[in-house]
Structure 1
Amino acid sequence: MDWDDAYANAPYIAGADAYPERWAKQAAAYRDELSAAGRAELGQSYGPSERQRYDLFHPEGTPQGLFVFVHGGYWLKFHRSFWSHFAAGMVARGWAVAMPSYDLCPDVRISDITGQIARAIPQAAGQVDGPIILAGHSAGGHLVARMCIQGLLPAPVFGRIRHVMPISPVSDLRPLINTSMNADFNLDDALAVAESPALMSPQDVPVTVWVGADERPVFLDQARWLAEAWDAAHVIEDHRHHFDVIDGLTDPESRMIRTLLG
């Protein structure tokens, strides 16, 4: 099996190269819009490095709660500035939205990134009252799934979580040992097991695993493994691939937003 090909998304998505530039432009326009309205707090620090920051977007009026979206990129690339517009759906439904960046491999290990997200969420939660909903895409799906494991989030913060949605997550990291990306991840069997949510028992919290029907077979497998291991809800969305599966987050009436809000 060609593991690099199996875990490669872009070669199998038409127009894949255009997505990052389009995301960045749409995200910048959304930040400008909310900043002009006085509803964006950008670059909130939660740790010592420059990437350990989050943007916080506010709805009109008092927030219904806090939604945290954690971006993907195989723990190797991207930044919160690519994703701001994906806050639009939850902001329109009256929720504050926090979007963190984090340090990237190989400068840190995947376990370090897990710890960073576990620090970002409580800090953002200290700024917004009410329930908390978590979602993350791809590597971000791994990271929000990891937040379901006991001991990562403080009990008072975890107690506020209403729903967690790993979107196209990497739930078992062991196959990644076989990819060339592991030169940056530096995973061995023990480290991969220690960071694989599908091999762990979650705390009691509603989880919906979401994946696109047109994704690569390994991502359909990764989503299924987590849903089966956790006895979680499992949505396979028709006509969606790895890059557009999160588009529902921009639409307050989408199936994804309605599912998040339960």
Structure 2
Amino acid sequence: MNGGETCVAQITDWDDAYANIAHIPGGAGFPDVWAQAAAEFRDGLRGTGGQPPGPRDIFGQKKEHRDAELYLPEGKPRGLMVFVHGGYWMKFGPSWFSHLAQGALARGWAVLLPSYPLAPGAGLREMRDRIAAQVTAAAGEVSGPIVLSGHSAGGHLAARLVCGDSPLPAPVLARVARCLPISGLFDLRPLQLTAMRDDLGLDDTTARAESPLFHLPVPGCELHLWVGGDERPVFIRQSQLLHAAWAGMPRRSTLTVEPGRHHLDVVAGLAMPDHPLTEALLAGL
């Protein structure tokens, strides 16, 4: 092999390549840990008379938004932070991740955890549009900058909202100052080789249309890709791909590989106001 050549090992089992829980000690227990931490956070808010979680009246009686959670800080919010949950577009909901609002809330930000319909009952475009509608409604109630984040599948959906064909209305999109996808999926073509293909409706057309990698980003916001150093190699590669593809197009583009973090604990920092992940999301805004 010549000195300038790079060899990437062939992947023979794509389901295993994108499997996370099986490769993390105690991985199967993480959803229960998340749910307990989220419930304790919500109970704590109620106990102190704080703003309870829920869709509030900004969503009216629309049942499709009933699982969304909006948290308001004391006093006027500094802006709106949006966190989109993961679960390979097929699992979970905002109530598993309520506690991840703590860091931004403590810094004076309003926090929206949007809900979206899950596959196989819904397609990726419908998920994206549902989230955009909730962000738009929350933006009508909360002034200031908007920051978008999400984990895994939620990182994909957050990134889709800052593509050139974003369903966000122009005035709302203009307020998006930063997008920070965490361990996101930005090229969906490899998932066509997994058992998830049919549930996600990933034919060639859909995989390309819904992959941020094949879109230009809106130039006004900053992009900060965040991924754990102990993740499955394909997840690190996904963030590297988008960082390279979008280089120089957002106002600023950054890639952070956090040492010692795997796919299931890489989001934990959002619960802490001074954690580097929360800093990366909110600092300077």
- Aligned position for 1:17: 28
Aligned residues: 262
Q: 2:93 aligns with which of 63, 79, 96?
A: 79
Q: Contact 2:67–2:93 (CA<8 Å) still a contact in 1?
A: no
Structure 2 letter corresponding to 1:91: L
Moved over 6 A (4+): none
- Aligned position for 2:138: 124
Q: Contact 1:141–1:166 (CA<8 Å) still a contact in 2?
A: yes
SS in 2 for 1:243: coil
Alignment partners' CA distance in 2, 1:86 and 1:150: 28
- Aligned position for 1:214: 230
- Aligned position for 2:240: 224
Alignment partners' CA distance in 2, 1:197 and 1:150: 10
Alpha-carbon displacement from aligned partner over 1:7-64 (angstroms, at most 9, x marks no partner):
1000111111111111101101111222342323413447955466411111122111
Structure 1 pair 39/47, CA: closer, same or farther in 2 (3 Å)? closer
Alignment partners' CA distance in 2, 1:164 and 1:39: 26
Q: 1:40 aligns with which of 41, 49, 52?
A: 52
Please say which structure displays the higher CA radius of gyration: 2
For structure 1, the residue ranges without an aligned partner over 5 or more in a row are: none
Identity percentage of aligned residues:
47
SS in 1 for 2:227: strand
Q: Contact 1:104–1:113 (CA<8 Å) still a contact in 2?
A: yes
| 1:149 CA displacement | 1.4
The range that moved more, 209-218 or 30-39, is 30-39
Normalising by the residue count of structure 1, what TM-score does the alignment of the two structures yield? 0.96
Please report the RMSD computed on the Cα atoms of aligned residues, expressed in angstroms.
1.4
Q: What are the residue-to-residue correspondences of 1:1-262 with 2, within 5 Å? A: 1-36=12-47, 37-44=49-56, 45=59, 48-50=62-64, 53-151=67-165, 152-204=167-219, 205-231=221-247, 232-262=253-283
Normalising by the residue count of structure 2, what TM-score does the alignment of the two structures yield? 0.88
Structure 1 pair 146/47, CA: closer, same or farther in 2 (3 Å)? farther
Q: Contact 1:136–1:142 (CA<8 Å) still a contact in 2?
A: yes
Alignment partners' CA distance in 1, 2:45 and 2:208: 41
